[in-house]
Amino acid sequence: MIAWILLALLMVVYCITLPILLKRAGHSKPWLGYIPVVQFIPVFKVLKHPVWWFLIMLCPGVNLLMMIIVNVELGIAFGKRSVKEQWMFGVLPWYTLIQLAFKDSSATFIGPRDWTGKKKSFTREWGEAILFAVIAASVIRTFFIEAFTIPTPSMENSMLVGDYLFVSKVSYGAKIPQTPMSIPFLHNAMPGNMANSYIDMFSLPYYRLPGFGEVERYDPVVFNYPHGDTIIVDPFLAGHDYYEILRREALTFAAMDARLSPQSPEAYTKFLLNQELYMGKARREFAEQKACMSCANGIKKHGGVRPRPMDKKENYVKRCIGLPGENIEIKDHQVFINGQAIQDPGGVMYNYVVSCNTDDQLKGVLRKLEVAPANVSMVAGNRAVVPFTYEDAEKAKTMGGVIEMRLLIDSLQEENRMLMFPNLPMEPYNHWTVDNFGPLHIPAQGETIELTPANIDLYRHTIVNYELNTLEVRDGKAIINGQACDTYTFKQNYYWMMGDNRHHSVDSRFWGWVPEDHIVGKPVFTWFSKNQANHNKSTSVRWNRVFRFVH
C-alpha cells in the first residue's frame, strides 16, 4: 500500500511540475505534461532521447528504473549537476521536482549534457553501458524470451538434466510482472542464501498480453509451481510442496504419539481421527522454525515459512496432457481423455525391472543405452529398476545377457495415502496412484459446477488459492465470499501437466491442475547442454544437444 501511495504521489507531482518544466524548456506543447504517461514523450524530446523510449515506460518493473533516470536527467538539464543533487533527484523526486518547478524558478533550462568532443570517465561510460544493457535485457527477458535450466529428470529424455533452454514468452502471451520491484535476472532469491530478491509491498494484478497461440495437448510448458505460494525457508525444501511436507509432518506427529512407524496403518488411522490437531501442530512447528521431523535427511532445521507471490513461485516444466473441460483418467499407466485412450508423446519413459546374468552385463546394457546413473535404482548386483522408453526397452531385450525386462505398475502403499491429488484422506482419492488415477474433471473458464459435501474439498484449494475467494462450510453448505452457494463458476482455465519420465516426475498427479495465470511460456530451443556430476557422474558438454529445438 505504501509503494502504491508513493507511486500515485509521483504521478501527481509529474502532472503538476512537468507542464511548467516543459514550458521553461521551450517545448511547443507543454500541456502534454498534464496527461499521465503520455507526458514522457515531450520529456524525452527535450532531453534529446529517442521517442521510442516512451515504450519502455510501459514495461512494469523496468519503468521504475526509467523514472529514476528521467528524474536525474531533468535535474541535470536544469543545471542540477552535482553528485548530491543527482542523488536527490533520483531518490526524492517528490521534493526535488516541486522545488525545481515552483521555488527554484530561476533555474534555466540548459539542456542535457553535451559529450561532443569530451571523454566520459571510465566509471561513467561503463556504468551507462551496464545500466542500459540491464534495461534492454530485462525487457527481453520479461516480454519475449528467457533462459531456463533443467534441474530434474522429470522430462527425460526430451529435456535432460543440465539442458539450458530458451523459453518463449510470446507463444502464449507474456505476463505483466506482478512483483515489479525485483533485482534484475534473479527470480526469487539472492544467490547463496534464501533472502528475497524482490519487494512484494508493490504488486500489480494479473494481466497477459496477446500471444501467438494457446496451450495445446503435448506442448512442453514452463509454469509457476501451483503449490509454491508458501515455502519452507531452506535451499533444499523451498522448491518442494509445502502442503505435502506439512501433511507428512502431521502424520509423523501422529505416529510419534502412537509410538508407531509413520507408514503403519494404525498411525494413519490415528491421524485421520485428529487431523486438525496434528495439522495445527505441524503448522506451528514450521512457523516457529523448529526441526522438520519427517524430512529426508532426518531432523532438519530451517528458517520457517514464507509466502511467495504468484510470479515468484518456482518455475516447473512439464508436458500438457489434459485441457480445460476434459476428463482425465489413468489405467495401468495408459492415459484416457474423455474415455478415449491417447497416444503417449514420443520419448515417454516408464520404470522397468531389468535383470541380466551378471552385474557386468547389466552395466553394459545401461552404458549402451546411455542411462544416467542417478536414474538407476539397484535391486541386486545384476538387477535394477530403470526408466526406459518403449523403444529402448525393446532394444535392451535383444542385448546379450538380458533375462528379464518387465514394466512396473505402481501399486498403493500405505505411505502414499494423501500423496496423490487431491490429497484427501477419503474414497476414492486415497487409492489413486501414479499409474491408476482418476477419473477427474479439469475445470474450464466459465464452467459451472454444483457444490456438494462430496466434492467441496476437491475444489477448495482452487476456489480459495487460485481464484482468490473466501470459502467456509457451514452445515454442509458452501459459503463463498460471505454468501451461501450451491454452484461455482470458474474464472479461468486449468491444465493437466505430466512429466515424460512418468515414474520420476512430481506433477499434476501429485498437486493438481495448473491455472492459466500460472503459465509462463513454451520451451523452444536448447542453446547449451552439459552433464551434471550429481546426475551423470560427468561434466562433459553434450554437443549433440546444442542448438536443438525442443519437442
In a domain, 357, yes or no: yes
In a domain, 175, yes or no: no
Does residue 526 come out as left (phi exceeding 0), alpha (psi in the -120 to 50 range) or beta?
A: beta
Residues 6 and 109 in one domain: yes
Residues 14 and 101 in one domain: yes
Domain stop point among 123, 149, 178: 123
In a domain, 444, yes or no: no
Domain stop point among 123, 139, 157: 123
Q: How far apart are CA 13 and CA 10, in angstroms?
A: 5
Residues 286 and 360 in one domain: no
| Single pTM value for the model | 0.87
**Residue 192 has which C-alpha cell?**
547463496
The residues, ordered by sequence, that sit 6+ positions from 165 with a Cβ below 8 Å of its Cβ are 147, 148, 149, 150, 159, 523, 524, 525, 526, 527, 550
Question: Which SS3 state, helix, strand or coil, does residue 491 take?
Answer: coil
Q: How many separate domains does the chain show? A: 3
* Closest to 46 (Cα-Cα) out of 77, 80, 13: 77
In a domain, 264, yes or no: yes
Residues 6 and 95 in one domain: yes
Residues 89 and 13 in one domain: yes
Domain stop point among 266, 291, 313: 313
In a domain, 419, yes or no: no
How would you classify the pairing of strands 483-485 and 477-480?
antiparallel
In a domain, 327, yes or no: no
In a domain, 356, yes or no: yes
Residues 6 and 119 in one domain: yes
Q: How far apart are CA 246 and CA 423, in angstroms?
A: 12
Residues 32 and 105 in one domain: yes
**Residue 380 has which C-alpha cell?**
541386486
530 CB-side CA count, 13 A = 8
Residues 308 and 233 in one domain: yes
Handedness of CA 45, 47, 51, 57 (dihedral sign): negative
User: What distance lies between CA 442 and its chain's CA centroid?
Assistant: 20
Residues 253 and 355 in one domain: no
Cα–Cα–Cα angle for 162, 168, 174, rounded to 5 degrees: 130
Q: In the chain, count of helices (H) and strands (E)?
A: 15, 23
Residues 9 and 109 in one domain: yes
pLDDT in tens, the chain (551 residues): 676 788 888 889 999 999 999 999 888 898 988 988 888 899 989 898 888 888 888 787 788 888 888 899 899 999 888 889 889 998 899 999 999 989 887 788 888 877 666 777 777 778 778 878 888 888 899 899 999 999 888 998 889 999 999 999 999 999 988 988 888 888 888 887 788 888 887 788 899 999 999 999 999 999 999 999 999 988 888 888 999 999 989 999 998 888 888 878 888 888 888 889 999 999 998 888 888 888 866 667 788 899 999 999 999 999 999 999 999 999 999 999 999 999 999 889 999 999 999 988 998 999 898 888 888 887 788 899 999 999 999 999 888 889 999 998 886 665 567 889 998 888 888 889 999 999 999 999 999 999 998 899 999 999 999 999 999 988 888 999 999 999 999 999 999 999 999 999 999 999 999 999 999 999 999 999 998 887 777 888 999 899 999 98
CATH classification of the domain holding 376? 3.30.70
Does residue 332 come out as left (phi exceeding 0), alpha (psi in the -120 to 50 range) or beta?
A: left
Residues 353 and 309 in one domain: no
Residues 354 and 297 in one domain: no
In a domain, 353, yes or no: yes
| Segments forming the whole domain that contains residue 105 | 2-123
